[in-house]
A and B are shown apart, each in its own frame.
Chain A
Amino acid sequence: MNLQLTELQRDALQELMNISMGQAANALAQLIDAKISLSIPKISLVAAAEFQQIFSTDQYWFTRQSFLGSVKGEVLTLLARAGIETVGGLLHYALPLDERSEKELLLELANILAGACLRGFSTQLALPTKVSMPTLFQAAMRQADSFRWSSTLLLEVEFQLEGTAFDSRIVICLEPQSVELLLEKLNKLLED
C-alpha cells in the first residue's frame, strides 16, 4: 500500500497533536507536580528499516501498548535510563529503586504518558480507542524484515521533565488501514 501525506494534511495533524499533547502534559504536570516541556510533534511515514532505527539505542527503555477502536495500532514509549530515579521520587516510589519497583515505575510512567497522548489524539480527531496494559519491549531482537508491514505513520512527541535528565519519546504507530481512516477524517476536517 502506498501511503501519501500532503503538506496540508501533515500541518493539520501536527496542529491537532500539538493541542492534545499540551493537554496531556498539563495533566501529567498536575499528577507529578513538576514542569514538563514538549517538543513539536513529528509526523512521518516510515518504512520498516527506518522504524527499526528507533530501537538502535541503549539509552532508553522501551514499552509497548496496543490500542483498539476506530483506529488500531500500538504506542511505543521510550523512557530515558538517565534520571529515572528522580521521576520515581516524584511518583512517590521508595528510593533507591529495586528491579521490581523500577519495572513497575517504567510501566506506570509509560501508561501515563502514552495514555495521555493517545487520549489527546483520539479526542481531537473523534476516533475513540481503548488502550491495553503496557509491557516492556525488548526491541533489539526484532529484525526489520520480520515486520508484517511495509510502511507506517508515526506520530512522535518528546517530553522533557524540567530540571532532570529524564526525557521520554512517545511514538504512536498506526496500522495501514487506520492511516487511511485518519486521512479521511483529516480531509473532512480540512474541508469544513
Chain B
Amino acid sequence: MDLTLLHEQLHNRLPLGICLLNAEYQVLYWNDFFSDRTGQSSATVQGKSLLELFPQQARYLKKKIDSVFVLSNASFSYWEHQPHVFPFSSSRPITGEETLMYQNIEFLPVEWAGESVHTICLVVQDVTELASYFLAEQQLSARLEQEHAELKALNDKLSMAQNQLLQSEKMAAVGQLAAGVAHEINNPIGFISSNLQTLQDYAARLLKLTDFYEKVISKTGNDAYLAMQRDTQQRLQFDFVRQDLPELLSESIDGIERVTDIVKNLKAFSHVDNAHWQYANLVEGLENTLKIAANQLKYKVEIHRDYAADLPEVYCQPNQINQVFLNLLVNAAQAMEHKGHLYLRAWQQGQSVCVEVRDTGPGIAPEHMKRLFEPFFTTKPVGSGTGLGLSLSYSIVQKHQGEIDVHSVPGSGASFTIMLPVAGPASAASAVP
C-alpha cells in the first residue's frame, strides 16, 4: 500500500479546500477542491503567490496569513462576516438560490522552523447549505417578529376600541336617560310656567285692588279707619310684601323659563327627535348649542362673536349640525384648561355658509393632525373622551356634502371651520318629499 498516494487521493476526495503556503505566500500545494473550482491544477499554481492568484481578496488574506506568522497561531474567517473570500460559485448551481459559496476558512500553522512558522495551511469549508438555512431562519424569525409586533399593535387598538365603545354606550345610555327625564319634566314645567304667568297677572290685580281700597279709605278721612289700616299693614309688613311679590314672581318665571330652555335643548339633542331636513339658521343653532355647553364654558372662557348679517338659512339636519357644534365647543372648552378666549365666526362664502370655532388652547400636535377624525382616536385620558366626537362630526358634515377644516399652531390654539352648502346636498334635495 502506497501511503503517499493514499494521502493524495484522500486529500482530493475531502469536501474541504486545502492549500499549503510558505512564508512568501507561495502556493506549495492545493487539492482538487481548489483545482476543480479555479481550473488550475496544483502543479500549475505551485510557486505562484496566493495573493496574486486572488488579487481581489489579497488584502484580507494577507492580514489573516500574517497574523498566523506573527502570532504562530491559527486564525479564522467566518462566513457570517466574510461569506465569499474565495470567489467560488455555489455548490448548488441548479437548485440553489445562492450564486456564491459561503465559506469558513481556517489558517493553520503546520510547519515550524525553530520558533517561527514556516508553512501554513488554509482549510476551506463549504458551508453554503448551513448558511442559507441559517439566513432563511433569520429572515423567518424577523418576519415572525414583525408579525408579532403588528398583532400586538392590533390587539392594543382593539382593546382601546373596546374601552371606547363601552364608554360611548354609557354616553348613549345617559343621553337616553336625559331624554326620558326631559320628556317627563316637560309637562309639569308646562303647567308650572303657565300657572306662574297667571299668578303674576292675579297678583298685579290684587295689588291694584289694594291700592284702590287704600285710596277709598283715605278719601273717607276717617282717622279710626286710617289707623286700623296702618296698624294692619304694619303687622303684616305689607309694604315689603307689595314690593317683593312681583319680584318673586318675575324671578320664578325667569327661572322656569330657563328650565324650559334646558329641557327643550335636551330634547333637541336626544335621539328621540329624528333628524329631518329643513332650512335652518346656523347662527341660531350655534347660539342654542352654546346654552347647552354653557356650564363647560361659563367660568373660564370669554366668548367673542362675529356673525355676518343676513346669512341665508341652510338646508340641513339642524339637530345633527348642532351636534357638530356641540362637539367643537366642548373640545374647545376642554382644550382651554384655564382661562381662554373662544372666537365664533359665521360668514357666507359663495353658495356656502361657514362657521368657525377657534380657541386659544394648546393647539393640536402635528402628529395628531392626521388622525384627528379617526374613530376612537382621542388624546383625553381613557374614560373621559369617546374618541367619537370629531369622527361623528366629520361624518355628519360629509353627509351634508360640506367640509370641515382644521388649522392649528401648537401653543396658540386650534380652529375648526365648517362649510355647508346653502342648498344642502344634492341627494337630500332630491329626497325632499
A contacts, CB < 8 Å to B? 24, 27-28, 30-31, 92, 100-101, 103-104, 107-108, 111-112, 115-116, 118-119, 130-131, 133-134
User: Within the complex, what minimum Cβ distance (angstroms) separates B333 from chain A?
Assistant: 51
Assess the A103–B76 pair: CB atoms within 8 A: no
| Binary contact track B73-84/A, C-beta < 8 Å → 1, others 0 | 111101011100
Assess the A107–B71 pair: CB atoms within 8 A: no
Assess the A107–B78 pair: CB atoms within 8 A: yes
User: Within the complex, what minimum Cβ distance (angstroms) separates A135 from chain B?
Assistant: 9
Residues of chain B with a CB closer than 8 A to A92's CB: 63
Majority-rule SS of A interface residues: helix
Assess the B81–A111 pair: CB atoms within 8 A: no
Residues of chain A with a CB closer than 8 A to B82's CB: 104
Return the contact of B67 from the options A24, A104, A112, A133 (Cβ within 8 A).
A112
Assess the B70–A31 pair: CB atoms within 8 A: yes
Assess the A119–B63 pair: CB atoms within 8 A: no
Assess the B104–A116 pair: CB atoms within 8 A: no
B residues 26-85 touching A (CB-CB < 8 Å):
63, 66-67, 70-76, 78, 80-82
The reply on B106 being an interface residue by CB < 8 A is yes
Assess the A27–B71 pair: CB atoms within 8 A: yes
- Given known contacts A133-B76, A133-B104, A104 and B70 CB-to-CB distance under 8 angstroms: no
**CB-CB nearest in chain B for A102:** B81
User: Within the complex, what minimum Cβ distance (angstroms) separates A80 from chain B?
Assistant: 20
Assess the B78–A30 pair: CB atoms within 8 A: no
Residues of chain B with a CB closer than 8 A to A112's CB: 67, 71, 73, 75
Return the contact of A133 from the options B63, B70, B72, B78 (Cβ within 8 A).
B78
Interface residues contributed by chain B, number (CB under 8 Å): 16
Return the contact of B76 from the options A28, A30, A100, A107 (Cβ within 8 A).
A107
Assess the A103–B73 pair: CB atoms within 8 A: no
Assess the A111–B75 pair: CB atoms within 8 A: yes
Return the contact of B80 from the options A24, A100, A134 (Cβ within 8 A).
A100
User: Within the complex, what minimum Cβ distance (angstroms) separates B199 from chain A?
Assistant: 85
| Binary contact track B266-289/A, C-beta < 8 Å → 1, others 0 | 000000000000000000000000
Return the contact of A115 from the options B74, B78, B80 (Cβ within 8 A).
B74
Known: A100-B80, A107-B76, A115-B73. 8 other contacts (CB 8 A): A24-B71, A31-B66, A103-B80, A103-B81, A112-B67, A115-B75, A119-B72, A119-B73
**CB-CB nearest in chain A for B71:** A27
Residues of chain A with a CB closer than 8 A to B73's CB: 111-112, 115-116, 118-119, 131
Assess the A115–B81 pair: CB atoms within 8 A: no
Q: What 3 pairs between A and B have smallest CB-CB spacing? A: A115-B73, A104-B81, A133-B76
| Binary contact track B378-397/A, C-beta < 8 Å → 1, others 0 | 00000000000000000000
Assess the B104–A115 pair: CB atoms within 8 A: no
Return the contact of B71 from the options A103, A104, A116 (Cβ within 8 A).
A116
User: Within the complex, what minimum Cβ distance (angstroms) separates A8 from chain B?
Assistant: 29
**CB-CB nearest in chain A for B64:** A108
What separation, in Å, do the CA atoms of A119 and B82 have in the docked complex?
A: 26
What separation, in Å, do the CA atoms of A125 and B82 have in the docked complex?
A: 36
Residues of chain B with a CB closer than 8 A to A100's CB: 80-81
| 21 A-B pairs (CB sep. < 8 Å) | A24-B71, A27-B70, A28-B71, A31-B66, A31-B71, A103-B80, A104-B82, A107-B78, A108-B67, A108-B76, A111-B73, A111-B76, A112-B67, A112-B71, A112-B73, A116-B71, A116-B73, A119-B71, A119-B73, A130-B74, A131-B74
Assess the A108–B74 pair: CB atoms within 8 A: no
Assess the B71–A101 pair: CB atoms within 8 A: no
**CB-CB nearest in chain B for A115:** B73
Residues of chain A with a CB closer than 8 A to B81's CB: 100-101, 103-104, 107
User: Within the complex, what minimum Cβ distance (angstroms) separates B110 from chain A?
Assistant: 11
- Given known contacts A100-B81, A104-B81, A104-B82, A134 and B76 CB-to-CB distance under 8 angstroms: yes
What separation, in Å, do the CA atoms of A101 and B82 have in the docked complex?
A: 9
B residues 286-318 touching A (CB-CB < 8 Å):
none
Candidate in B63, B71, B78 with the most chain A CB atoms within 10 angstroms: B71
**CB-CB nearest in chain A for B104:** A133
**CB-CB nearest in chain A for B63:** A92
What separation, in Å, do the CA atoms of A111 and B81 have in the docked complex?
A: 15
- Given known contacts A92-B63, A133-B104, A27 and B78 CB-to-CB distance under 8 angstroms: no
What separation, in Å, do the CA atoms of A92 and B104 have in the docked complex?
A: 21
User: Within the complex, what minimum Cβ distance (angstroms) separates A19 from chain B?
Assistant: 14
What separation, in Å, do the CA atoms of A118 and B73 have in the docked complex?
A: 9
Residues of chain A with a CB closer than 8 A to B80's CB: 100, 103-104
